[in-house]
Structure 1
Amino acid sequence: MKRCSTALVTYSSSDDGDDERPAKKRKLPSLSSFLVPNLPVDNPAQHQGRIRTKPHVEGQFAAHVYVPLVVEQRSPLCGLIDEILDNSKDLVPTLTALWPRKDRIKRQELHISLSHPTFLRAHQREDLKKAVKSLSKQFSPRFTISFAALSELTNDEKTRTFLALEIGAGHHELRTLSNTLSPALQAIRQKEFYSNPRFHASIAWALLDRPLSESRPESVLIPRSTFAEGHPEQVTEAGFPTIPHFPKELIPTLNSRHGVQLASIKTGSFDINEISLKIGKEVYTWKLSA
């Protein structure tokens, strides 16, 4: 019987010599431009120096629940607001009106907030819409509010201070609306409104100085001129002036000049019969219809 001999085949290893070369890494092709999402760029220069206080997250929608108050262009309140702003700018030249006269239309809206600015995921939008619609059906078709005084209110992030018209009559009804909304906000893991809210309608705002430890390098905030009480006025990187706060005499002066007219029934009293929800750029409004 003839035996077949088998030859052993040997394979070279990395230890056998220096001839082995590493494999070339393949460079992956770059994504096409239409596949790359265009994320919003926070540019304060395009928003009068305002800074986004919460970073943009893809798939999130800013939302806000409020009571709308329509003010006609020729109404006593509209004329009074113009007077207040004119007097305010004498002490705070950097004040920015929410109703610039050059952009004004016949019917303006003041907003009385019932919630914090809220950030929703796409699937939460319908839940909040249903909650606000349900809320509108629980309240009588009309209640009356009136303005009591002017005040200074600062946002939670301490980036802006606001000149506001504070609510007097109607505070109880507004608080009941806000409290009734709280369980719906909690259900979608959103923060409920303040425990002791100061219901108001803002009419103007100014940028506030930001502590250097919380902002950018010191060179970004440049002392420019003297402000009331010796505080230096500063300028943001985009060139917008900031202030530490309103001058102490501003609010007492405005209330002394305009408080009586603001609180009068003819000027500052309004019937409320709607509630609104803004999600992104969409606004939904329901009549109070209990």
Structure 2
Amino acid sequence: MLNLLMDLLDEYDDSDSSETEIRQEKRLLSHNASPINANEPCKKQKRGQVSFVLPCDLSKQQLFERQQPHVPGNWAGHVFINIPQNIDLEREQQRAANAWKDRLENEGWTGPMLLHKEDDRKLLKGIHVSLSRPFYLQRGSIDSFLQSLRERFKYTEKGWFRLDYSEKGTKLFTNDDSTRTFLVWRIEDVENTLTMLVKDVDTVLERYGAAPYYHPPQFHVSVASIPGTCSAIKVLDRKSDEPGVAIPVSDIHCTFGTTEEFIIPLGTAGLSLGKG
């Protein structure tokens, strides 16, 4: 069961760190949903049918291809900033997904759409901002890796960024292998908070032979995703007057598999000095 959960995390996170934005074209490429194969041509339909799937459904359907071969003893790691869900964000996320669903169906696309939200079993994480690509460590290296992160971030000041969920801030990204398309919200790194955090994470990853984050980074939050690639004249047909929301950053999260999650606070050195 543990191996299954780790495989599911690989399938989810390997694609979630993509940085390739889709160019807007004149038509939408449609994909046949059964079986799902991004490399095969798909049948154009008068109107498609898109169905939402939950994270727990990933154990029943092979919706996304595994990008990394399984290596015994390897644990899939990911460093990110968690964004707590609230009623307003959940409403905007559902609105964005519904609008994308309607656009896809109008263009004849049929298939599943994964809504990126944490389920009750916490099989997958909710909306978040990645600070690393997925990476892999042996179990014996995890403790020292975490300690390196703690040492790095105990002098880092807290910060913030702006999450732009307006129509203008909503984009389409694909993963590196063009096997998955993401609906994302753009992040405005107003005070370079995320840029500095990624720099520190990259420094630690380099010590363990892991790849750095994408350069230049395109910070984003993944809202929903579908198998294959698609492009459209316009991502959404919805209007939003909301300018977005400021998200404070006081800690980072690091996960290994789906059973190990660690929260590393920022700026603990200053607190220790204050207590002395």
Per the TM superposition, whether the score is higher than 0.5 is yes
Unpaired runs of at least 5, structure 1: 1-37, 209-243
Query: Is residue 99 of structure 2 the alignment partner of residue 87 of structure 1?
Result: yes
How many pairs are equivalent?
A: 204
Residue pair 1:60, 1:119 contacting (<8 A) in 2 also = yes
CA separation in 1, counterparts of 2:121 and 2:234? 29
Which residue of 1 is the match for residue 248 of structure 2? 271
Equivalent position amino acid for 2:73 in 1: G
Q: CA–CA distance in 2 between the matches of 1:182 and 1:287?
A: 18
Q: Matched residues in 2 for 1:245 and 1:169: separation?
A: 27
Q: Deviations over 1:218-256 (max 9, x none)?
A: xxxxxxxxxxxxxxxxxxxxxxxxxx31423225x35xx
Question: Which of 115, 118, 124 is the matching residue for 1:97?
Answer: 115
- Counterpart AA for 1:288: L
Distance 1:40 1:104 in 2: 14
Measured after TM superposition, the shift of residue 178 of structure 1 is: 0.5
Q: Which has the larger displacement, 54-63 or 44-53?
A: 44-53
Q: Secondary structure at the match of 1:132?
A: helix
Per the alignment, in what secondary structure is the counterpart of residue 248 of structure 1? coil
Q: Structure 1's 273 and 170: CA in aligned 2 closer, same or farther, altered over 3 A?
A: farther
Q: 1:135: Cα distance to partner? A: 2.8
Q: TM-score scaled by structure 1?
A: 0.63
| Displacement after TM superposition at 1:65 (Å) | 0.4
- 1:131-172 Cα deviation digits (max 9, x unpaired): 2212331211x3121123111111122221111111114461
Matched-pair contact (CA < 8 Å) for 1:143–1:170: no
| TM-score normalized by the length of structure 2 | 0.66
* Alignment counterpart, residue 167 of structure 1, candidates 162, 177, 187: 187
SS in 2 for 1:189: coil
Moved over 2 A (4+): 38-48, 92-96, 102-105
Shift of 1:40: 5.8
How much does 1:64 deviate? 0.3
Highest Rg: 1 or 2? 1
Alignment of 1:188-203 (within 5 A): 188-203=208-223
Q: Per the alignment, in what secondary structure is the counterpart of residue 71 of structure 1?
A: coil
Q: CA RMSD in A?
A: 2.8
Match of 1:92, SS?
Answer: helix
After alignment, is 143-152 or 87-96 more displaced? 87-96
Q: Quick one: higher RCO (CA 8 Å, sep 6+), 1 or 2? A: 2
